Amino acid sequence: MSRVNAVNLTDKEYLLPGNRLCPGCAVSLAYRHILKALEGQAVVTVPASCLTVLHGMYPVTSVTVPCVNTPFASTAASAAGLSAGLKALGRTDLTVVAIAGDGGTHDIGIQALSGAAERQDDFVYICYDNEGYMNTGNQRSGSSPLGTISGTTPVLGKQQHQKDVVAIMEAHRLPYVATASASYPLDLYDKVRKARSMKGLRFIHVYTPCPPGWGFPFMDTIGIGEMAVQTGWNVLYEVEEGAFRLSPASQSVAEKGGLRPVRELVALQGRFANLTEDKIQALQDWVTGRWQRYLARTGS
C-alpha cells in the first residue's frame, strides 16, 4: 500500500471546522485524519470521553459520519453489535470503528475489548491515549505514567508505571496492531487505511498529547508528540499477522543511533514538576528497556 503524503492527502473533510475540544488538542488532529482515511464510509461508536465533547451537543455535531454513542464500558461490545447487525443485514459498505480514550480502553473498557478481540469481531478499534481521565478534568488512569501529578495523585504523583495496552492487545493474536501519533498524521492515516482493508479486530493506539492535562502550552502539541518519539516514550510500529516492523519515524530514531533522554520530554510538562531524580531514572529505564525489546524484535 503506497504511503500518503501532504500533496496527495485528500482535501475532503469529515470533521467540520470548529468543535468543543481544547485549543491544541491532539485528538482533533488525529480524528480528522482517521476520518479522512475512512473516506466517510464508516460508522463510529464512541464511549463517554473527550471525543464525545468533540462530537458536540444535540442537535449540532461537528462530525459527518454516522455515530453511535455508547456507555463507558461498552465501546467494543457496541462495535461488535454494529458489526453483527450489519452482517445480519448483509451490509458490507461500512467499516465499524470504535474510538475510545485510555480510560475507556485500558481501564473500564478492557473487558469488552478483550472479549471482542478473543472472538475476532470485525471492527477497527482505535485508542487515543492522553494518559489520563482528561474529560473529567485529569485523574490518573491505567495509562498515566509513573510520577504523574493528577487529580487523584495530587501530592505524591502516580506510584506505578503505565499499562502496556498494545502488548495486551497483541497477546490476543490480532491480525493488525499498530501504534501511531497525532504528531505524525500521515503515518496515522496510512495505518487506518491499512486496518480498514483488513478483517477481524484491528487495534490502533494513537498517542495524543493533552495541553491542559499534561501542563504544556497548547502550541507545543506537535513538538511534544515528536519528542515522545525521539525519546522512545512513544514508539511507532506495526504488527501485521505477527510480523513486527518499526514505522518510519521510530525507524529513523533507531538508524540515527539512539534515543534522546526522557528527561528532555518530562521537563516540558507540568504534570512531572515533582519528579525526583530516581523517578526520572525509573522512567528512563522503563523506556530504554522497552526500546531494546523492540529493537530485538526488528532483528537489529
Partner 1 sequence: MKANSKKQDASQMLDGNRAAALGAKLCRVQVVAAYPITPQTPVTEALSEIVERGELQAQYVTVESEHSAMAVCSSASLVGARTFTATSSHGLAYMHEMLHWVAGTRLPVVLACVNRAIGAPWNVLNDLQDSMSQRDTGWIQMYARNNQEILDQIIQAYRIAEKAYLPVMVCYDGYTLSHTDMPVDVPSQDAVDGFLPPYKAHTILDPTNPKNYNLVTLANPRLNAEGVLCHGYMEIRYLLQEALEKSKEAIASVGREFGDLFGRSYASLLWEDMMEGAEIAIVATGGLAMEAIVAAEMLRRDGIRAGVIGLRVFRPFPRADVLRALQGCRLAVVFDRSISYGNEGTACSETKAALYGTGTNMRVHGFIVGLGGRDVKARELAGAVKRTLSLTDRGALNSESPEWVCEI
Contact residues for partner 1, defined by CB under 8 A: 40-43, 45, 52-53, 55-61, 63-71, 73-74, 76-82, 84-89, 91, 94, 111-112, 114-115, 118-119, 121
CB of 82 to partner 1, least distance (A): 5
- Rank residues 81 and 157 by Cβ distance to partner 1 and give the closer one: 81
Q: Is 259 exposed, middle or buried (0-12, 13-18, 19+ CB in 10 A)?
A: buried
CB of 175 to partner 1, least distance (A): 19
- Rank residues 126 and 229 by Cβ distance to partner 1 and give the closer one: 126
- Rank residues 42 and 227 by Cβ distance to partner 1 and give the closer one: 42
Nearest to 36 by CA among 1, 64, 77: 64
Nearest to 125 by CA among 232, 47, 56: 47
- Rank residues 134 and 259 by Cβ distance to partner 1 and give the closer one: 134
Q: Report how far residue 75's alpha carbon sits from residue 62's, in angstroms, rounded to the nearest whole number.
A: 20
Residue that has been written with the C-alpha cell 510538562 in this structure: 269
CB of 201 to partner 1, least distance (A): 13
- Rank residues 112 and 182 by Cβ distance to partner 1 and give the closer one: 112
- Rank residues 44 and 177 by Cβ distance to partner 1 and give the closer one: 44
34 HSE (CA, 13 A, CB side): 30
CB of 120 to partner 1, least distance (A): 11
CB of 30 to partner 1, least distance (A): 19
Beta strand extents in 108-240 (DSSP E only): 123-129, 176-181, 201-207, 237-240
Q: Report how far residue 75's alpha carbon sits from residue 271's, in angstroms, rounded to the nearest whole number.
A: 28
CB of 203 to partner 1, least distance (A): 17
Element (H, E) at 262: helix 262-266
Using the Cα atoms of residue 271, residue 277, residue 282 and residue 285 in order, give the sign of their dihedral. positive
